[in-house]
Amino acid sequence: MRLSVVVLTMGNRPAELERAVKSALGQIGVDVEVVLVGNGADVPGSWPENVKVVRLPENLGIPGGRNRGVEASSGELILFLDDDGWYESPDLGARLRDMFARDPKLGIVSFRVRDPEGGPGERRHVPRLRAGDPLRSSDVTTFLGGACAMRRAVFDVAGGLPEDFFYAHEETDLAWQALNAGYRIVYDAESVMFHPAVAPTRHEMFYRLNARNRVWLARRNLPWPLVFAYLGVWVGMTLLRERKPAALRPWFSGFLEGWRKPAGRRRPISWRTVWRMTRLGRPPII
């Protein structure tokens, strides 16, 4: 299996980008290519032959940039890596190759993210409800977009990442379609990458896009009775979590935008997939 590592960059972290690429090319015993996507920015530096550079004239967002990177890649396994992240071990690629080779139904592996400063890590980086033990591997129903590996066949059957999302929940959209196609998603605590501990709320657009895309996610993927249950639960959770008007105003603005604007192609998952997700501990209302 060839591994294609797709790295998004805005061109503003050259030292971190070099470190990320070096960690990908340093994988032992596997065939690796790196696809660097300059998302509305130039890609600084000179790169070896097995690094492809894709320069996009405008920022297409995370899903759009990653889709362009996959289009330029040639591997059977696709890895997404942020330009400020890097792989801990040079044996990660071989581990992933063997995991996917052993199980034809393994579709996606989500990595354990470690804080390079030695912090405890963030609960949101463990893609399940019971996130207290990041050292426990398990089957899950979603994955981390910047810390993962997937079969190219899974990416294709899911239709890639939804580009209109721009930022937030695009991984879950792909994950639900992968589960609906019969594939497994695994959180593997032994597959490790480093990434600085940063809050997603640092992005100015976080609250609006988080809410808008959650509505689109439900409208695109869930049976209609679950659309309203899922969104009702998230309205309640948001009111409990975010009590400041500065957060609630853009969140509800995005929530309404998600209903007003087209969500894209609707492909509701089956009730069998809903039951499977429930058995895995995360029914698609949470």
Residue 285 included in any domain: no
- Contacts (Cβ under 8 Å, ≥6 apart) of 11: 38, 41, 42, 43, 44
Tokens of 92: 């990660």
Tokens representing residue 73 in the block: 């890649």
Q: Classify 213 as helix, strand or coil.
A: helix
Residue in the block written with tokens 């034809």: 104
Please choose, from the candidates 191, 135, 180, the residue with its C-alpha nearest in 3D space to the C-alpha of residue 277: 180
Answer yes or no: is 75 within a domain. yes
Question: Residue 79: enclosing H or E segment and its boundaries?
Answer: strand 77-82
pLDDT per position in the chain (286 positions), as tens? Answer: 999 999 999 989 999 999 999 999 999 999 999 999 999 998 878 899 899 999 999 999 999 999 999 999 999 999 999 999 999 999 999 999 999 999 999 999 999 999 998 877 788 899 999 888 999 999 999 999 999 999 999 999 999 999 999 999 999 999 999 999 999 999 999 999 999 887 765 556 899 999 999 999 999 999 999 999 999 999 999 999 988 888 999 999 999 999 999 999 999 999 999 999 999 999 999 8
- Identify the CA nearest to 27 among candidates 92, 101, 100: 92
In a domain, 235, yes or no: yes
Q: Could you say which of 166, 198, 230 is where a domain stops?
A: 198
Domain boundary among 182, 198, 214: 198
The CATH number of the domain holding residue 172 is 3.90.550.10
Q: Which of 149, 166, 198 is the endpoint of a domain?
A: 198
Q: Is residue 286 part of a domain?
A: no
- 237 with 108, same domain: the answer is no
* Dist. CA 147–CA 158, nearest whole Å: 18
Q: Are 176 and 208 contained in the same domain? A: no
Residues 53, 13, single domain; the answer is: yes
> What pTM, to 2 d.p., does this model score?
0.95
Distance CA 74, CA 152 (A): 9
The answer to whether residue 147 sits within a structural domain is yes
Question: How many domains is the chain built from?
Answer: 2
Domain-located, residue 76: yes
Round to whole Å and give the CA distance between 227 and 220: 9
What is the residue range of 249's domain? 204-279
User: Is residue 107 classed exposed, middle or buried when 0-12, 13-18 and 19+ CB atoms within 10 A define those classes?
Assistant: buried
Q: Is residue 213 part of a domain?
A: yes
Q: Are residues 209 and 194 in the same domain?
A: no
